Chains A and B, each alone.
Chain A
């Protein structure tokens, strides 16, 4: 399986993401610059964290206007897996690929620590290697991870089982219903504030994030090999 790690000016988790795929997962991966106009050779798209365009105006707003996002929307429509982590999640909401928005953390602090997540839906291509209700340790590092959407959108998220991860115990940012990660209705676009790529080996304090990438590969192999 061949992954693309998108790189915007200001991305800073692209190397972690690349490392997780290449060295921990053992799959093919390439960096793709934001002005790329073709993603057809890739089977999965990873939108990494960081501060694209310095978070100017709004997190993810300017990145959403780059060439590569046209291709990401195409890939998403084709059913390819698209994962956005942290700033990547913010970009995917700005792009309209995921509903809602990420607001400033309620306590106004940049939160950087390992948190516990609950797997709310293990019936997705991103979570099939987790147990339903499993508690996993994944680091967060964000100042604007407070998920918000209107009541109608929230009702839809719940009705369609689109809430994939919630914060277990402490909610670090004030997000609605403790939401940490959501998937689109079609089930192939996941956005999450916590960083699974930073939890891909025990030496980093946790390897709980690796199962997310293994899930993607398992699903892809079943469909393509």
Chain B
């Protein structure tokens, strides 16, 4: 089994009103040093034995479904597991 961690975040150019609300709360709590908050998604994929190239398959999944590249960026980490 291989574990893949996928991180999906809004592009820099896209406003994140949820993040702005959280930043506002943090500031009110006394954490004024927080300059910006961006909220994203974290997905864990457990991949069973495959002959396909994991990197290219996960990239395909991200492009086709897991992220909307009009508004989101993604990156992923592949971890071997025993």
Give the B-binding residues of A (Cβ under 8 A). Answer: 57-58, 61-62, 65, 93-94, 99-101, 103-108, 148-150, 174
CB pair A108 B17 closer than 8 Å: yes
CB distance from B10 to the nearest CB of A (A): 8
Which residues of B sit under 8 angstroms from A93, Cβ to Cβ? 70
Which of B14, B41, B66 is the one whose CB lies under 8 Å from A103?
B14
B39 nearest CB neighbor, chain A only: A104
Q: Quick check: B15 and A58 within 8 Å, CB to CB? A: no
- Tell me the bound Cα distance from A150 to B11 in angstroms: 11
Are the C-beta atoms of A148 and B17 separated by less than 8 Å? no
Which A residue sits closest to B43, measured CB to CB? A57
The 6 closest A-B pairs by CB, nearest first: A101-B70, A101-B71, A106-B17, A108-B17, A101-B68, A58-B68
- Give the interface size class of chain B: 10 to 19
Question: 5 extra interchain contacts, Cβ-Cβ under 8 A, other than A101-B71, A108-B17, A148-B71?
Answer: A93-B70, A104-B17, A107-B17, A174-B15, A174-B17
Say yes or no: B65 contacts A106, CB within 8 Å.
Answer: no
| Neighbouring A residues of B71 by C-beta, 8 Å | 101, 103, 148
Write out the residue numbers on chain B whose beta carbons fall within 8 Å of the beta carbon of A107: 17
How far is the CB of A93 from the nearest CB of chain B, in Å? 8
**Dominant secondary structure at the A interface:** loop
CB distance from A186 to the nearest CB of B (A): 20
Contacts of A58 in B (CB 8 A): 68
Min Cβ gap B7→A in Å is 14
Contact A57–B18 (Cβ < 8 Å):
no
Interface residues of B in 13-55 (CB under 8 A from A): 13-15, 17-18, 21, 41
Task: Return chain A residues, CB-CB under 8 Å to B66.
Answer: 57
Which residues of chain A are near B65, meaning CB under 8 Å?
Answer: 57, 61-62, 65
For residue A101, which residues in chain B have a CB less than 8 angstroms away from its CB? 68, 70-71
* Docked pose: A62 CA to B66 CA in angstroms: 10
Q: Specify which chain B residues have a CB less than 8 angstroms from the CB of A100 in the assembled complex.
A: 70
